[in-house]
Structure 1
């Protein structure tokens, strides 16, 4: 067995997320590249990761379309709830409705709450993810019968993870939204979309919902590399302020929507702590990414011919200029399972 494989086994035994005796029937995922398990492989976009070195530490060394060297947080969360160790992409023809009955992912890398964000790289907008869910619901009813399907959908854990692209691919890069909205007003605009989306899936049967906050987006390797190695404070401030708005939204909807249990899973502080002191978490560095120098390397710029790709991803907090390594994803999932998601036991 290779030394790298032995190291992986040791690390994930050490970071083993405890299993939960939970009443969760399935994990249903909406969002962006933080949780996309391969849907972008099957749409006409340049934003893909279905090639090496992506997935090099995934089971079998397969490039599945996950923006990581291995698994993503929702995979670990699914396993922690006693379900399968990976959540399949809805558009992947290798899977069918039988596979999706215990977990399905509608997420699309590059998308956001704002439809304008999904248009930047021609990815699946949030409204289309919702349409796919409605199609899935109908297919599941046809497969299991309406009563059993509805029970699964009611007992499922719905995970929503997006928002970073709305700021870093859209608001702070393109002129349109920044002319239309102040940062504060744009946050309100996005929170309003989140409110409508959660209300919509509630009326379609969702009752257990986790809304994921923004990470310290000013500390991503791309941003740090472009700004002399330091985090961009105003980006982090916007992330924290937006997370406050999401927290208020969670409290409001829990009062308004009878029977819903909505939680905020906030990765900001745990990831910020890892970035500030990576050695305490078993990493060597958070300033640069495993695949590349930290400058723009993601998608096709992170490839097997990149001379800067590291040999051991477990020493790095980030895999490419935007996305965490599998080890970091495991830590973030563990934090969520032990905190916000513990209510779903």
Structure 2
């Protein structure tokens, strides 16, 4: 047998061994959050916050829209694959999947939601408390499917991801004059959201969670929609929004330290997406992008959800050249960069 063939065979065996180790150490990925990680749950509720139509999903296999607010896969899909799990994390409300598929990954996220119930009410989406109820239902199904002991092992070793908070500010606080902004100052609202985040983490801890990525806010003032609605400097990043995101992220990091100290056996990492996205927006060419100001869909300034549709004119040919797919959400390529960044900076501790 040729030496090169033996070397190739050993290499394949090593890859298989590594995949088995990854799958064994993190047997499942469980996702909570908003449109940054919603795999299609909003397809099955009555809301305007949907993306189950073209051109969404055009770069997925077969070009079929799945309800992901992207031209392709989400960061959580890439993270799942990095841990040796399936390349797409299925939406819990999707009837095409059952507990057999959900055992290795499940998404409870809902586009347009936030930590605050009032945020979910704006577009009638799934609030965080309801995502928790779905998770409890899932735990019962998992125990019936795997047995009590095996299910508990899965829940303890699974990677949990929480990605939300942006909508609380740009959809709720800064948009609704008679809402939270009339009740809280910005620092008070940040603390209000952090208390909700802490309560949720403690709830899933009681249900078995031990490995958690708590993702921070991006530079939300640099989202295309926020640039175009920036009255102080139209077309530029909204510095006030970015300042709030930074402040909130620093408080979230403090919460991570607090919960790690107080919850026995819990390991929480802070997903710092702000620094990566901030650098990409400032230096897009360094990352191979040509456009970090507008989205690929239509003019890229305000098109999102139903406004980004197959009849939208001049949608770009190559989304890989764009940081943003629509006016709010990253392209698949940007999501892949986010996944790689998180794997290399924080999530590697769970490998």
Structure 1 length-normalised TM: 0.94
Q: Pick one of 83, 88, 112 that aligns with 2:85.
A: 83
Structure 1 segment 254-273 matched on structure 2, within 5 A: 254-273=260-279
Deviations 1:217-266 (A, max 9, x none): 00000111233221010100000000001100000000100000011001
Q: Pick one of 204, 207, 210 that aligns with 1:207.
A: 210
Q: Secondary structure at the match of 2:335?
A: helix
Q: Secondary structure at the match of 1:253?
A: helix
Cα root mean square deviation, aligned: 1.1
Aligned counterpart, 2:237: 231
Aligned counterpart, 2:115: 113
Aligned counterpart, 2:316: 310
CA distance in 2, matches of 1:304, 1:272: 30
CA distance in 1, matches of 2:163, 2:91: 15
Matched, 1:247 2:253: yes
Alpha-carbon deviation of 1:200? 0.4
Alpha-carbon deviation of 1:294? 3.0
Q: Pick one of 120, 142, 145 that aligns with 2:144.
A: 142
Aligned counterpart, 2:15: none
Alpha-carbon deviation of 1:308? 2.6
Matched, 1:183 2:186: yes
Q: Secondary structure at the match of 1:184?
A: helix
Structure 1: runs of 5 or more not aligned:
1-17
Q: Secondary structure at the match of 1:286?
A: strand
Structure 2 length-normalised TM: 0.92
Q: Secondary structure at the match of 1:124?
A: coil
**May I ask how many residue pairs the two structures share in their alignment?**
328
Q: Higher Cα Rg: structure 1 or 2?
A: 2
Structure 1 segment 86-101 matched on structure 2, within 5 A: 86-101=88-103
CA distance in 2, matches of 1:19, 1:280: 31
Pair 1:172–1:20, CA change in 2 (3 A): farther
Aligned counterpart, 1:6: none
Aligned counterpart, 2:65: 63
Q: Pick one of 154, 157, 162 that aligns with 1:155.
A: 157
Pair 1:265–1:19, CA change in 2 (3 A): farther
Q: Secondary structure at the match of 2:135?
A: helix
Aligned counterpart, 2:174: 172
Structure 1 segment 294-305 matched on structure 2, within 5 A: 294-305=300-311
Alpha-carbon deviation of 1:19? 6.9
Once the two structures are overlaid, the 10-residue window that deviates more, 297-306 or 219-228, is 219-228
CA distance in 2, matches of 1:76, 1:51: 22
Q: Secondary structure at the match of 1:85?
A: coil
Aligned counterpart, 1:290: 296
Q: Pick one of 254, 259, 284 that aligns with 1:278.
A: 284
Deviations 1:94-152 (A, max 9, x none): 00000000000000000000000000000000000000000000001011111111100
CA distance in 1, matches of 2:119, 2:61: 32
Q: Secondary structure at the match of 2:312?
A: coil
Deviations 1:312-332 (A, max 9, x none): 101100000000000000000
CA distance in 1, matches of 2:142, 2:19: 26
